Amino acid sequence: MNIAVLLGGISPERNISMVSGRAAVNALRSLGHNVRPIDPSLGATCILSDSDLAAATPRAVTDEELAAFRPSALMECVTSSAFDGIDCAFILLHGRYGEDGYIQSLLDLRGIPYTGSTMLASAAAMDKGLSKMLFQVAGIPTAPWVTVTPDQAGDHAVIEQVLAEIEGGLVVKPNDQGSTVGMTILESPTLDTLSEAVRIAGQFSSTILIERYISGRELTVAVLGNDALPIIEIAPKAGYYDYTNKYTKGNTEYHCPADLTPEVEDHVRNLAVAAHHVLGCRAYSRVDFRLREDNIPFCLEVNTIPGFTETSLVPMAARAADMEFPALCEEIMRLSGIFAA
């Protein structure tokens, strides 16, 4: 098949997406596919060389770098000759304009099949507040939350109301970003520290989600089709599972399968599949949880295009289920309605 792997993009997760995309390019080529790496942020001149891929690292993107990109470049890219003769797109654009339904809608309009969730499900999953409302309706436990806007960072009445409404530690994050971009964890929040956390998150989104911090273990579950893969426990050696601990080798330990009782394991896996389906996700996703000390799980969010390097969490879970990385790529294509030859 002629496959376009979409990578890079214009979110703060741009460089992580480059590394994810490179892994998929290599895997799909190893299966005999004709693969075209495409970075939609570059407009009509979006086809990357192998040397471009080789240079990719998961370093953080600077504000200056992001400011150089235009959202309109995505339209120029998808409508360009770069997609001529392409049978399908394997989307590995993390974050805004890639994981939120924008690129999916453009591919729909051009008539190009793509991997993963549809435009509507992608948008729903990227909106953390909307996701939590749907979880709540479906009976999937999630931490209490409120949303505020960036301009309310200096509104002491609003901040005091949040502190009164949600007791204990707080997690403050942009409503529509990933990879813990702009996130702050406050174990003992005060008026000043919460205001500052809202200000930080407000640099990345027009809506900020504030939820109760659930102490306990961090679990993640890859969902493939209608099945949950083995659960992974994420254990940073110091601090929280932030951007640095995610992408710095050796900073975090991963236990797959997680050491859980059969009852807790079954419950968490069932909740993961339920969260995947309540948002209308397709093919695959990764569902994140906090497991409280009393073994009550709380669903944090669903990632429709999670990290996808050969050492990322979804491939790790797949290997624990005896599925190697190239086979995982092809299975995602099959579950997306793309039948590889």
Cite the active site residues: 13, 179, 247, 286, 288, 301, 303, 307
3-state secondary structure of 284: strand
The β-bridge relationship of strands 2-6 and 297-303 is unpaired
Q: Among residues 131, 157, 156, which one has the least CA distance to residue 145?
A: 131
Residue at token pair 């995982």: 328
Question: Tokens in use for 305?
Answer: 């295009």
Residue at token pair 């707080």: 170
Q: Interhelix angle for 156-165 vs 191-201, to 10°?
A: 100
Q: What is the DSSP string of 81-92?
A: GGGTT--EEEE-
Cβ atoms < 10 Å from Cβ of 63: 8
The β-bridge relationship of strands 208-212 and 227-228 is unpaired
The β-bridge relationship of strands 208-212 and 284-291 is unpaired
Burial zone of 111 (CB within 10 Å; 0-12 exposed, 13-18 middle, 19+ buried): exposed
CA distances to 22, 190, 214, 281 from 221, in Å: 23, 33, 17, 14
